Amino acid sequence: MLDARLRPLIDPPLNRIGAALARRGVGADAVTLAGFLVGAASFPALALGAYGTALVLILLNRVMDGLDGAVARHAGATDFGGYLDIVCDFLFYSGVVFFVAVGRPEDALPAAFLIFSFVGTGSSFLAYAIMAAKRGITTEIRGAKSLYYLGGITEGAETIALFVVICLFPTAFAPLAWVFGALCWLTTAARVAAASRTFGT
């Protein structure tokens, strides 16, 4: 919901850094993988209840996730790079929730519901992108991307905000997971409806 509005603020500094990295021969895939490893380092921190450390690592991961696209725009984007970025994003999102539950087993059920909800948003997002590519439908509302980005109530910015709040207030995880999961299902339903309108004929 907020991603398109934040792009004009986020893209200019990322593009400057991305251009500098590309000139030095740093590849977008290397940034993607390094960002994923930084994000994955938050997993043991979450499991151990070191939420301050986890928060720093999560935010660094998200900065690097934006940076890989900026590098790709200057060094040359590839289909594999776009694929790798999406795979790492989805693994990271679900990994954060899973490892919160490792550290807070009493919250395993809401964590499972939230990951279940991520499957809905992720599959509806990717399936729409596949059909859009098949029909040659493109958009740059959320910046130049390797695949079609269909919006919703719960996009990247909202998910990052959720993770920040979880790290700051871990005891509130259960209600946050139930509410955010429900919003994810509203996003999924809206995407299915959009797909019906676009691809139903």
**Domain range enclosing 172:** 3-199
Q: What span, in angstroms and rounded, lies between the C-alpha atoms of 188 and 84?
A: 23
| d(C-alpha 174, C-alpha 110), whole Å | 6
Tokens of 129: 């992108």
Question: What is the number of structural domains in the chain?
Answer: 1
Supply the CATH number for residue 183's domain. Answer: 1.20.120.1760
CB-count exposure of residue 117 (10 Å: 0-12, 13-18, 19+): buried
For 182, the token pair is 């429900």
pLDDT per position in the chain (201 positions), as tens? Answer: 555 665 666 667 777 777 777 778 788 899 999 999 999 999 999 999 999 999 999 999 999 988 888 888 877 788 898 899 999 999 999 999 999 999 999 999 999 999 999 999 999 989 888 888 888 876 655 455 555 566 678 888 899 999 999 999 999 999 999 999 999 999 999 999 988 988 876
